[in-house]
A and B are shown apart, each in its own frame.
Chain A
C-alpha cells in the first residue's frame, strides 16, 4: 500500500531522450530528431505500484529502458535513493542493477533456450556472488519456483518445456532472485491469455504484499493497470499528461486525453457499459515534429489559442489535490475557474 510521505526510491526528473537520425539513407529524408521522451517527472515509492499508460509511441517503454540504464538520456536525471544513476561508478551501478530488476513482455525472448531453469535462476548469483553462498543456490532456486507457483522439479527443465504463462513466472522468479526493491514490468502480461494473465497479476500482488517491492507497471491494457496500480501516470507523445491516485485518474480523469483514452476502452462493468466514447480527431502526430505548446492540442476538442502558445505544466487538479495534470482546460474546471489570464483567449 501507499506509504507516503516516505522517501521515494526512484525520482525521475526532467527525463529526456531524443534519438538522433541514423546516418545513411533515410526514407523520410530529413534530419529530424525523434523526441521520444521530453521532460518527464515522477517518483516511485517503496511498496507501491505505479502504472504507466499511453499509446504506442508515447515513450513509456523508453522511460523504462532509461531507468534501467539501457539508454543514456539526452537530459534529466534518475535518482535511486537520492543518487543519480547516470553518474554512478561501476560498483554503484552493480548495486543498482541488483536492486532494480525488470520483467519483459516476451518471455520466449527473455530466457536463454539452452539454459536449464536451474541455470537461469542461478545466473543472478553468479553475477552477484555476495548475495547468496553457492551451497544455498539449489535450495533457493526451488524456493523461488514454489514462490511463483511452479514445482521444485521444474528446475531441471528447459524453457521450451513450458507454456507462455509458466515462462513469464520463470522470468519473474529470475527478477526476484536478488530480492530487488524495484521491479520494472514492461507489458508483463500482454502476451498472455486472460486466465493465465489473472494468475500472473495475482502472483505480482502476492509478492508485493510479502516483500514491499515497488512496481513500475507499464501496459497498454487499461483494465490491467487499473486493477494493479495504486497510482497511474498517463503519457502522451513523450510528456506526462496526468499522474495521480488510480481511482481518481480512472474515475474522474482531469486531462482530456486521459478522458478520451478511458472512454475508448471496452468495459465490462455494468455501470460503464452505456458510456459515451469521446472520439479524437486525426492521428497521433510524429514525435519528430510534435505540436507546439500542449502536445495533445491538435486532437483536443477543448483546445484554444493558448494551448498552442504555452506548454501546460503539471499542476494539482483540483487545486490542493495530489493528482497532477498538465492542461490549460482540465475536465474538472468549470469555465469560471479557468485562470484569468487564459479567459480572454
Chain B
C-alpha cells in the first residue's frame, strides 16, 4: 500500500489562556489520499479549524503550542521543516482557502495583479506571462470577462466572486493538497453549489486532494468521499461519507444527524444533543462525549475508547460502537 498524501497522527494543540490550558486538538489522527476530498466535520470548538491551521503552520504561537504528534505530508514531517523549506512547499504543494475572502485579499491591488504575484514569487520572470496566466485562471474559476475583471479591485467583486479569486490563487501552482476551511459558509446556497462544484472539478482534473473543513453535514455528504467527524479535539469517527452518515457507528455522529433538519422527515421532531459542548480546559475522564451520550455506560466514564476498525475503511472511537451500528440498522 502506498503512503497517503497527508497523515496527521495523534496531533495535540494546546492554547495557554491565563491560568488554564485549553486542549483544542487532543490526539487527532486522519489521512488524506491523493486525489480524494475528505471532509472534516464538527461543531464550534471541535478542533477542526485548529487542525487545518496546524497543517498550514499558521497557528498563532504563542498562545498556541503543538504539544505532540506529527503531520506527514509527502513523506516529510511538516512540523520539523525549517521556515524556508516550508515556504518552498506553500502554494506549490499545499494551499489554503479560508471562509473570509475579503480580508484575505489586499484591497489596494487589482485581483489580477495579486494572482500574478503567486507566479512571480515562484520564479516567473515575465510580468506579461504572469498576468496572462492570472487571466487564464480567472477564466478557469468561472469569472466572466476575465481580462477586464483582472484589472478590478476586491471591493468590486461579490462575495462569491471573491471566493473564486481566492481559489484561483490557491490552485495557481497546482498544489497536491488544498485545505479549504469553511470555503462557502458565508455564501448563498446557489453560489455555494457553484463554488463547490468548481472545487470538485479542479480536484478531479488535477488529481488534487482537498481537506474540506465544514460544519454542514449536507456539504460533506454531497462533495466529499470520506468524512472525519471531530469532537473535543479528536477524530471520533472516520470513513466513507455515505456509509458514515447513513449508518453511523459513533453516538455523536448519530446525534448530529438527529438534530439536523436536513435529515429529518416532514413533521418529525428534532432530537437535540443534551448538555453543552465540552469545556476544552477541563475535559471529562474517559470518553469526552460520555456526559452527553445516550449510550454511556460505566466503561465510558472510566476509560477513553481506543481507535477501532469496525468495518473495512471505517474507524471509530467508541466502546459501544457495535451497538450503535445495530441501532441504526434496526
B147 at the A/B interface (Cβ < 8 Å)? no
B257 at the A/B interface (Cβ < 8 Å)? yes
Q: How far is the CB of B251 from chain A (nearest CB, A)?
A: 12
When A194-B259, A268-B218, A268-B263 are in contact, do A56 and B270 touch as well, CB less than 8 Å? no
Residues of chain B contacted by A157 (CB below 8 angstroms): none
Decide: A199 and B158 in contact? CB cutoff 8 A.
Answer: no
Decide: A268 and B217 in contact? CB cutoff 8 A.
Answer: yes
Decide: B189 and A220 in contact? CB cutoff 8 A.
Answer: yes
Q: How far is the CB of A264 from chain B (nearest CB, A)?
A: 4
Residues of chain A contacted by B85 (CB below 8 angstroms): none
Q: How many residues of B contact A (CB 8 A)?
A: 44
B63 at the A/B interface (Cβ < 8 Å)? no
Interface size class of A (residues with CB under 8 A): 35 or more
State the CA gap A279–B193 with chains docked (Å): 8
State the CA gap A270–B159 with chains docked (Å): 31
Query: Closest chain A residue to B256 by CB distance?
Result: A194
State the CA gap A224–B215 with chains docked (Å): 15
Residues of chain B contacted by A222 (CB below 8 angstroms): 189
Contact with B along A219-240 (1 / 0, CB 8 A): 0111110111000000000000
State the CA gap A94–B154 with chains docked (Å): 45
B32 at the A/B interface (Cβ < 8 Å)? no
Residues of chain B contacted by A282 (CB below 8 angstroms): 144
Decide: A198 and B270 in contact? CB cutoff 8 A.
Answer: yes
Q: Is the interface of B mostly helix, strand, loop or mixed?
A: helix
Decide: B272 and A193 in contact? CB cutoff 8 A.
Answer: no
Q: How far is the CB of B292 from chain A (nearest CB, A)?
A: 9
Residues of chain B contacted by A201 (CB below 8 angstroms): 261, 270
Query: Closest chain A residue to B159 by CB distance?
Result: A56
Which residue, A165, A221, A247, A266, has most C-beta atoms of chain B within 10 A? A266
State the CA gap A208–B261 with chains docked (Å): 18
Query: Closest chain B residue to A196 by CB distance?
Result: B272
Contact with B along A89-126 (1 / 0, CB 8 A): 00000000000000000000000000000000000000
CB < 8 Å: which of A227, A247, A264 contacts B270?
A227
Decide: A193 and B44 in contact? CB cutoff 8 A.
Answer: yes
When A195-B43, A222-B189 are in contact, do A266 and B264 touch as well, CB less than 8 Å? no
B255 at the A/B interface (Cβ < 8 Å)? yes
Binding site for A on B (CB under 8 A): 43-44, 144, 155, 158-161, 188-194, 197, 215-219, 221-223, 245-246, 255-257, 259-266, 269-273, 276-277
Seed contacts A198-B260, A261-B190; 12 additional CB < 8 Å A-B pairs: A27-B155, A163-B277, A194-B43, A195-B43, A195-B256, A199-B272, A202-B272, A220-B189, A266-B219, A266-B262, A268-B263, A277-B197
